[in-house]
């Protein structure tokens, strides 16, 4: 069974600083995808970044990057130059590929607060 662990219930970061949100996963499927979503206080789920298990390079999307360490089964989200608008819940999620059309499984999330 797949499993996603986010060990930081809450994080604080100073504006303009970088922050790393941790995510570890557990799967026996060699082919999988890892996703990060942002949920601001308004409640919508916003896709941020994707990493495939066979991707050679770490994914980047603007100020977001994914620190993918396959051997350690970790997929940490790095946000550079934090902004006040980055304050939100962040969810790590995974989908296995070889097991069929499996749905995304989510971690419990990390609440990030950016301080001015």
Per CB under 8 A, residues contacting other proteins are 6, 9, 31, 33, 35, 43-45, 47, 50, 52, 91, 97, 100-101, 103-109
Q: Which two tokens stand for residue 40?
A: 């601001």
Q: How many helices (H) and strands (E) does the chain have?
A: 0, 12
For the bound state, the minimum distance from the C-beta of residue 55 to other proteins, rounded and expressed in Å, comes to 10
Q: Which residues pair with 106 in a beta bridge?
A: 93
Beta bridge partners of 46: 38
Instruction: Give the nearer residue to other proteins in terms of CB position, either 85 or 100.
Output: 100
Q: Which is nearer to other proteins, 73 or 111 (CB)?
A: 111
- Which residues 6+ apart lie within 8 Å of 44 measured at CB? none
Least spacing, CB of residue 14 vs other proteins, in Å: 26
Nearest CB to other proteins, comparing residues 45 and 84: 45
Q: Quick one: tokens of 21?
A: 């949100």
């Amino acid at each position: 069974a797949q499993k996603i662990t986010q060990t930081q219930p809450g994080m604080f970061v100073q504006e303009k600083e970088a922050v790393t949100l941790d995510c570890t996963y557990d799967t026996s499927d060699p082919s999988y995808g890892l996703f990060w979503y942002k949920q601001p206080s308004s409640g919508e789920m916003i896709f941020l970044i994707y990493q495939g298990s066979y991707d050679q390079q770490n994914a980047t999307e603007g100020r977001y990057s994914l620190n993918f360490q396959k051997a350690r089964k970790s997929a940490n989200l790095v946000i550079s130059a934090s902004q006040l608008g980055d304050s939100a819940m962040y969810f790590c999620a995974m989908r296995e590929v070889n097991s069929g059309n499996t749905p995304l499984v989510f971690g419990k999330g990390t609440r990030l607060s950016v301080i001015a």
